[in-house]
Copies of this chain bind each other. A is one copy, B any other.
C-alpha cells in the first residue's frame, strides 16, 4: 500500500499543477526576465500575449509644423497579469507591457482606403517590478532601429516615468486608451481619482 499511497499523492500533485483554482491551464512564468538583474530580456513570445489595443499615429507631444506619424502601436501584456487585472483592476508585481510599433501602408492587394500594418519599426517595454526604485521601469529594444536581445532601464531624464505618473488612468498605464480594460477599471474603482 505504500506504493499506492505514493502514487496517489503524486497524482494529486500533478493534478494540482495542471489546473489553477479557476480551472484554467497553469500560467508559465511569463513575467520579466533579466540579465545582470536589471537589463530586461526581450520577450520572445510577446506576439502570443494578450493584445490590449492599438492606435495609429498617436502623438502626445507633436512638434509644431510636422505631420503626425503613420505608425501603428500595438500593446500586449503578459497573460497572467492580464488575468489578474480582469479580476481586480490592478496590475500585479512583475507585469510586463510590450509596445510594438509597425509602419503602415494604404496600398496593397485589394485595399482602397485606410491603412494596414507593415514592418516592425519600434519595440518598447514597461515593467512593474518592485526591484526598481520607482516600482516601474521602461525599456527600448530598438534604440538604433535594430532589435537588441536585452535593454537597460531608460533614465529618468527620458521622461517616461513623469508622463506615466501624471497622465495615466490606472497606476502608470494608459488604460484610457484600452477600452476593454477601462471598463474593468471603472467597475473595480481603480481609475485614479480626478481622471
Contacts and interface: CB of A to CB of B under 8 A. Distances in A.
B119 A179 contact: yes
Contacts of A111: 58-60, 177
Interface in A76-132: 76, 79, 82, 102, 104, 108-120
Contacts of A158: none
Nearest to A117: B53
A7 interface: yes
Contact of A50 (B48, B74, B116, B118): B48
Interface string A37-62: 00000000001101101111111111
Label chain A's interface by main secondary structure: mixed
Contact of A169 (B50, B60, B109): B109
Interface stretch (A11-19, A134-142, A145-153): A11-19
A165 interface: no
A72 B25 CA distance: 31
Contact of A54 (B10, B26, B72, B82): B72
Contacts of A18: 14, 17-18, 26
B180 A47 contact: yes
Contact of A58 (B7, B55, B72, B114): B114
Minimum-distance CB pairs A-B, first 3:
A57-B114, A51-B51, A68-B113
